[in-house]
Amino acid sequence: MKTQSDSVQPDLLPAEHSEMLELTFRDSAGQLRLTENCALRRIHPGAEEATRDFLTSPLRATLEGSGDLIASRIADPCQYSCVRPSELWLEHPRIDPLSSPWEWSAGQWQAAAELTLRIEVQAVEAGWTLKDATPLNILFLGARPILVDVLSLERRDPRSSVWLAYAQFVRTFLLPLVAAKSLGWPLQNTLFERDGYEPRAIYRALNPWRRFHPDLFDVVTLAAWFENARKETKRTRADPAPRDLELVTHILRCRIARLLKQTRRATPGGNRSRWSDYTQWAGHYSAADLGAKQQFMRFVLERWRPARVLDIGANAGVYSLLAAEAGAQVAALDNDAGAIEQLWRTAARQSKPITALAANIARPTPAAGWRNREHLSLLDRLSGSFDLVLMLAVLHHLILREQLPLGHVAELCAWLTRRWLVLEWVPPSDPMHQEWLRGRDHLYGQLSESDRMEAFSSYFQIARRIPLADHRVLLLFERRAGDTGLEQPGPGAGRA
């Protein structure tokens, strides 16, 4: 299990090593450092033998071959200044953007849980086991989950029918799904529950009659009762360690299969929402305008071939899918979990390189963990990583609903994109603008394109302007030459 690292003090190390320790100080077997092109993992001396054992195992080859486990190779000391010849370092491909569990939809959460159980089944058959079973060890490579912690796999005791990470899986994977489905607790709340939910917390929140529901009685009610009983008796149950090794494996298989069924039953369904069906109800767009908008996006994608695209306010992903079809790797962002769920399922079904994130760009996921350095903020993970940023029918949301000044939005866009920005300007006469104006005509009723131009001209110049019949305007901006010294928007950014 991951525990506090050794007593090495970050203050006594070079700055680059200090940052590395802060990111993974809980792992007793190794430390992780992100570089521009890869992830480097230093293996502590006490874990070197076990790590080399796994690297030479058929299980490692199988899991990497299926895409379920991040690829690893021993780092060459000649290529990295931080790698000493006497130390074992692993090099992994870098996954961008990094996603956090609290930015996943329910379907993504289930997919990550099923990946964990699938790997554990294969590990058990091969004589290994996962010592950690937490969503924090999973990232999404496009629409597909992947295990990125190679140190989680260790040799198992062939006589033991206990999966030591079982309780962690229940707390961190299963119970958040149970709470989301039965109590309406958003999965985003797990940001504040690093080690998941305890059964007693959900038990107390349930109505008494709900505690006996078949899907809750075992994983919540009985677990809460037994937890109290263990506290009263202060006794630890030992594994009986059956001698029949085939029986041990069979018991483990059955327990994992049961967890899989519980996870599937616990996953909330019916993720339809207003914004997931946006293209069906958006009557303010005519068929001609929609066609012109898509034609313009295809022109931009084919003309400039951006390798990486960020789609802010992606909804169900019409333009994210266009970008992926044009060969781009896409990060699609929307604060509507139903829309992100629909987009993720489409991308997974079509094997598109789209990473779907349930997050609000106006209220982005903060840095989290010890000293706010274990988990990077959403903006830190997105900044300067994209050749093209899309903000289609988003600007008026930020102005009217979030009350963000135009200048602040322009600065954020310049901070996110390396070169291109596509913006859809929605005038005050537009029905959606009028719906959200709500008596604030004196503030936002007279906004004009010249106001927008004044705000964005400090960072961008216009490359294309396409007016639509409904008076909306599509704009292709290009970052001004030499504009590379932007700082991250400070605490005041986003305040009216």
Task: Assign 3-class secondary structure to 308-373.
Answer: EEEEECCCCCHHHHHHHHCCCEEEEEECCHHHHHHHHHHHHHHCCCEEEEECCCCCCCCCECHHHC
Can you read off the two tokens belonging to residue 380?
Answer: 């830190």
Q: Could you read off the pLDDT of 339-388 as tens digits, one per residue? A: 999 999 999 999 999 999 999 999 999 998 888 888 889 999 998 889 99
pLDDT digits (tens, 9 = 90+) for 43-62: 999 999 999 999 999 999 99
Q: What is the pLDDT of residue 485?
A: 44
Q: What is the pLDDT of residues 208-256, one digit of tens each?
A: 999 999 888 888 998 888 876 655 544 555 555 556 888 999 999 999 9
In eight-state DSSP terms, residue 489 is P
**What pLDDT score was predicted for residue 226?**
83
DSSP state, residue 152: G
Q: What fold, for 285-479?
A: Rossmann fold (3.40.50)
- Say whether pLDDT at 424 is over 70: yes
- Delimit the domains of the chain by residue range: 1-94, 138-266, 285-479
Binned at pLDDT 50, 70 and 90, residue 270 comes out as low
pLDDT-based confidence at residue 439 (cuts at 50, 70, 90): low
* HEC secondary structure over 115-164: HHHHHHHHHHHCCEEECCCCHHHEEEECCEEEECCHHHEEECCCCCCCCC
Label residue 269 by pLDDT band (50, 70, 90).
confident
Chain centroid to CA 310: 14
C-alpha distance across the termini of the chain, in Å? 46
Residue 370: per-residue pLDDT: 82
Asked if the model's pLDDT at residue 8 lies above 60, the reply is no
Whole-number Å distance between alpha carbons of 453 and 430: 19
Residue 18 has pLDDT above 70, yes or no: no
Chain center to CA of 6: 29
Return mean pLDDT, the chain.
84
Torsion of CA 99, 410, 417, 190, to 10 degrees: 0
In this structure, are residues 310 and 382 in contact, taking their beta carbons and an 8 Å threshold? yes
Grouping H, G, I as helix, E, B as strand and the rest as coil, residue 267 is: coil
Q: What are phi and psi of 80, to 5 degrees?
A: -130, 130
With CA atoms as reference, report the closest residue to 417 among 452, 394, 379, 388: 388
User: pTM score, two decimals?
Assistant: 0.86
Closest C-alpha to 279, from 242, 325, 317: 317
146 vs 396, residue with greater confidence: 146
User: Which is more confident, 239 or 318?
Assistant: 318
Q: How confident is the model at residue 426 (pLDDT cuts 50, 70, 90)?
A: confident
- Give the lowest-confidence range in 20-24, 286-290, 363-367: 20-24
CB atoms within 10 A of CB 368: 16
54 neighbors 60 (Cβ within 8 angstroms): yes
Residue 172 φ/ψ, nearest 5 degrees:
-100, -25
Task: Name the pairing type of β-strands 308-312 and 329-334.
Answer: parallel
Query: With contact defined as beta carbons under 8 Å apart, do 378 and 359 qualify?
Result: yes
Q: Who wins on pLDDT, 81 or 165?
A: 165
Q: What is the rounded (10 degree) CA torsion for 346, 347, 352, 358? A: 150
Chain centroid offset of residue 466 CA: 34
Q: In whole angstroms, what is the distance from residue 189 CA to residue 144 CA?
A: 23
Provide CB contacts within 8 A for 39, sequence distance 6+: 32, 33, 91, 92, 93, 94, 148
- Overall average pLDDT of the 452-456 stretch: 85
How many helices (H) and strands (E) in the chain? 20, 15
d(CA 363, CA 381): 14
Lowest mean pLDDT among 200-209, 254-263, 285-294: 285-294
Q: Is residue 303 classed as helix, strand or coil in its secondary structure? A: helix
Close Cβ partners of 272 (under 8 Å, ≥ 6 residues apart) = 338, 342
DSSP string for 407-461: HHHHHHHHHHEEEEEEEEE--TTSHHHHHHHTT-HHHHTT--HHHHHHHHTTTEE
- Phi-psi region for residue 449, left (φ > 0), alpha (ψ -120 to 50) or beta? alpha
pLDDT of 25 reads 66
Distance separating alpha carbons of residues 219 and 226, to the nearest angstrom: 11
Checking if the pLDDT of 39 tops 60, the result is: yes
**What pLDDT sits at residue 455?**
87
Neighbours of 64 (CB within 10 A): 15
pLDDT at residue 265, rounded to an integer: 94
Q: What is the pLDDT averaged over residues 73-79?
A: 91
Which residues is 254 bridged to in the sheet? Answer: none
Distance of alpha carbon 354 from alpha carbon 310, whole angstroms: 10
d(CA 70, CA 14): 28
Q: Is 94 exposed, middle or buried (0-12, 13-18, 19+ CB in 10 A)?
A: middle
Q: Residue 262: what residue type?
A: Q
pLDDT, average across residues 137-163: 95
